[in-house]
Amino acid sequence: MTTLITGGTSKIGLGLAKRLRASGKGVIFGTRSPQKIPSQYKHVLHDWDDPATFGNAFTADLGATIESVYLLPPPACLEPLPIVKSFIDIAVEKGVKKLVLLSGSPCEKGGVAAGRVHEYLDSLGVDYVALRPTWFIENIFEGLSYGIKGSGEVVTVVPNGRIPFISVEDIAQAAYEAITQPTKFKDIFVLGPQALTYDEVVETLKDYVGSPVTHKAISPDEQIARYKAFGLAPDYFQMLVQMEADTNDGREERYLERENKYVGTHTVAGILEARRDFWKQ
């Protein structure tokens, strides 16, 4: 079995590739940055901005038949379906037996962002799984780290909502299992084992950062102004702020009560410990 992984060198894609390769399964990356692909993997040019590349993986002489696809829609895109629809059609036409879509916990089928891609896959009657992870632990080291290192603050619009933060390693494992095993559900929430508030995350952070850190809860309008200053597209950051604000009602924590869930093993404290040296950089 060979899997086409779209999204190039995303952390989840790389983690999925390692798991597939370790179990003796083939991997092909679709990427617009081939120089970033580890040498042990085959790759083809795949660029969401260039539909002419969508069939490359199915027409190149790669010595393998692609039976499954890990589908990562273009990032920061409010309406990815018009972009990815023709690729999905090509994949189905070429005999792909299973598609695994990376969506998000707030993205209901037919709703915003990947929710419409989810709806389209369902309408085709193909074998698919929509993975819906909650907020990533690793965002502490990416988006949040600038405020932590710069001003000693984590700034959110979530004063007390609990979130079962998930690691990209657990998402990669969930994707691996979705590709290689029959699944009971087509819609799976991917969640961490602990539901924490941002105040609790900050308390754990203090043991690693080496300087004072606080959590500052602000209004959605204030957060919109911050994201606007960062240069994000207005429609996208407004959606992002709304998703963030919606965690205040306990929605993310309630997903732990659902039957259609995958609960990982990595905790916030465990990931912080594994990356302790990050804060020394």
What angle (nearest 5°) sits at the alpha carbon of residue 71, between those of residues 67 and 77?
160
Contact 41, 29 (CB under 8 A): yes
pLDDT at 215: 95
Of the listed ranges 70-74, 157-161, 206-210, the least confidently predicted one is: 206-210
Please, which residues have CB within 8 angstroms of residue 78's CB and are 6 or more apart in sequence?
112, 113, 233, 235, 236, 239
Report residue 267's pLDDT band, with 50, 70 and 90 as the boundaries. Answer: very high
With beta carbons less than 8 A apart as the criterion, state whether 213 and 202 touch: yes
Percentage of residues in the chain having pLDDT higher than 90: 75
Q: Is the pLDDT of residue 59 over 90?
A: no
Domains belonging to the chain, first-starting first, are 2-133+168-190 (3.40.50.720), 141-162+193-257+265-279 (3.90.25.10)
In which band, very low, low, confident or very high, does the pLDDT at 281 lie, cut at 50, 70 and 90?
confident
Instruction: Output the CA–CA distances (angstroms, integers) from residue 278 to 97, 118, 135, 207, 212, in the order listed.
Output: 41, 36, 20, 13, 16
For residue 232, the model assigns a pLDDT of 74
Tokens of 264: 């990982």
In this prediction, residues 256-265 reach a mean pLDDT of 97
- Flag whether pLDDT at 14 surpasses 80: yes
Instruction: Output the average pLDDT for the chain.
Output: 93
Assess whether pLDDT exceeds 90 at residue 186: yes
| Confidence check: pLDDT of 278 > 80 | yes
Does 38 or 177 have the greater pLDDT score? 177
Give a three-class secondary structure readout of 27-68.
EEEEECCHHHCCCCCEEEECCCCCHHHCCHHHHCCCCCCEEE
Q: Looking at beta carbons, which pairs linking 55-59 to residues 24 or more positions away fall under 8 Å? A: 55/90, 55/94, 56/30, 57/4, 57/28, 57/30, 58/90, 58/91, 58/94
- DSSP letter assigned to residue 73: P
pLDDT grade for 61, boundaries at 50, 70 and 90? confident
Would you say residue 49 has pLDDT above 80? yes
Q: What are the tens digits of pLDDT across the range 212-231?
A: 899 999 999 999 988 888 77
